Amino acid sequence: MADIGGQARGDAYPYKGGDAVNAAVERGRKARPVADVLRSSGRALNDSSFEYFDNAVSLLMKTALTEAERGRPVLSEIALIAAGEMRGERDPLAGPAAPPWTDKDKYVTVLLVGDKIKEWIGYDAPGFTDYYPAAVYVADASTSQYKLDAYAELASTLAHEYTHLAMIRMYQNASRPWTDDEEQVLVKRPPRYEPLTKAFDSITFDPDRLRYVENNELREDALKYLSQNWAKYKGRALYAESVPYLVEALFQAARLGEPGAVATVFGSDVLKVFTDLVLPDINAAAQKVRAAGAVT
């Protein structure tokens, strides 16, 4: 991967977090909590930027753990898988026979300043996830935006991008929820996944559904934004983006205390096929991370 304005992966500039945090994480018992590992992945140019990231991770994990206690562990399992790809001697999803990985195989989280994300990928986006060198890139906030709503926005982006990270490593493709050949022009998928693709194909922006969401911020901002953007994707791109969008919606709905709003806006069929066909894979991957013993 080429340098992003001299800032590829945060390896080329003086960053906060990184080595210093990694050293603290490596001390003590072998297995480290997910939140500590996610924080140690951070690469930021200054203290305020790293604090912004730190607070976003705290909000993401608080929401994820609360949901897990309520019997809805999707967010916590995704966070665990992401953390498992940031620490240890080898990819836990590839098993103990996998070759040791280099530092560039381990994921980091890089906060890019200004328009660096747009310069690199060619369009506006709050974040993106790359294969190699392994990195999640997210947009930093201006000094005036270091406040609670900005933390929530970044935490939402992290939920989305860490889902991409997990899916990329689980399925070895551009985060489509099945194993296929990345080079094929047409997606070939096992027949059992037809209900999943049909559910994703049905995603539309329907303002009438939003009317039934009670929380104002969820109705007028978070789910409206996600619904509008999710509906723009088609075909391969839709299948690659759908699980991250769904997980991000689950995060926002849980954060704002109305988890049922996801089914209200996107339909219960989408949640059902996700639960039937994708969640078992997520649970199995999370179990592999636990078994590897580097993250708890």
pLDDT of residue 32: 93
Is 153 a member of any domain? yes
Q: What is the 3-state secondary structure (H, E, C) of the chain?
A: CCCCCCCHHHCCCCCEECHHHHHHHHCCCCCECHHHHHHHCEEECCHHHHHHHHHHHHHHHHHHHHHHHCCCCHHHHHHHHHHHCCCCCCCHHHCCCCCCCCHHHCCEEEEECCCHHHHHHCCCCCEEEECCCCEEEEECCCHHHCCHHHHHHHHHHHHHHHHHHHHHHHHCCCCCCCCCCCCCCCCCCCHHHHHHHHHHHCCCCCHHHHCCCCCHHHHHHHHHHHHHHHCCCCHHHHHHHHHHHHHHHHHHHHHCCCCCHHHHHHCHHHHHHHHHHHHHHHHHHHHHHHHHCCEC
Is 2 a member of any domain? no
Give the residue-averaged pLDDT of 60-64. 98
What value does the mean pLDDT of the chain take? 85
> Cis peptide before 100, with omega less than 30 degrees from 0?
no
Confidence of residue 58 (pLDDT cuts 50, 70, 90): very high
Query: Over 90: is that where the pLDDT of 34 sits?
Result: yes
pLDDT of residue 1: 34
Give the residue-averaged pLDDT of 59-70. 97
Is 156 a member of any domain? yes
Is 253 a member of any domain? yes
Confidence of residue 113 (pLDDT cuts 50, 70, 90): confident
Give the residue-averaged pLDDT of 52-75. 96
Give the residue-averaged pLDDT of 126-147. 79
126 contacts 111 by C-beta, under 8 angstroms:
no
Is 181 a member of any domain? yes
63-67, 126-130, 211-215: which range is least confident on average?
126-130
Confidence of residue 81 (pLDDT cuts 50, 70, 90): very high
Query: Over 60: is that where the pLDDT of 17 sits?
Result: no
Digit-coded pLDDT (tens) for 247-282: 999 999 999 999 999 999 999 999 999 999 999 999
| 18 compared with 91, residue with greater pLDDT | 91
Query: Over 80: is that where the pLDDT of 170 sits?
Result: yes
11-15, 163-167, 241-245: which range is least confident on average?
11-15
pLDDT of residue 7: 47
CA–CA–CA angle 82, 150, 3 (5° rounding): 55
Query: Over 90: is that where the pLDDT of 74 sits?
Result: yes
Query: Over 70: is that where the pLDDT of 18 sits?
Result: no
Query: Over 80: is that where the pLDDT of 152 sits?
Result: yes
pLDDT of residue 26: 52
Query: Over 50: is that where the pLDDT of 211 sits?
Result: yes
Confidence of residue 4 (pLDDT cuts 50, 70, 90): very low
pLDDT of residue 10: 52
pLDDT of residue 148: 56
pLDDT of residue 123: 74
pLDDT of residue 25: 47
Give the residue-averaged pLDDT of 104-123. 81
> Which domain does 137 fall in, by range?
8-292
Alpha carbon distance 92, 110 (integer Å): 22
pLDDT of residue 14: 41
Into how many domains does the chain fold? 1
Is 1 a member of any domain? no
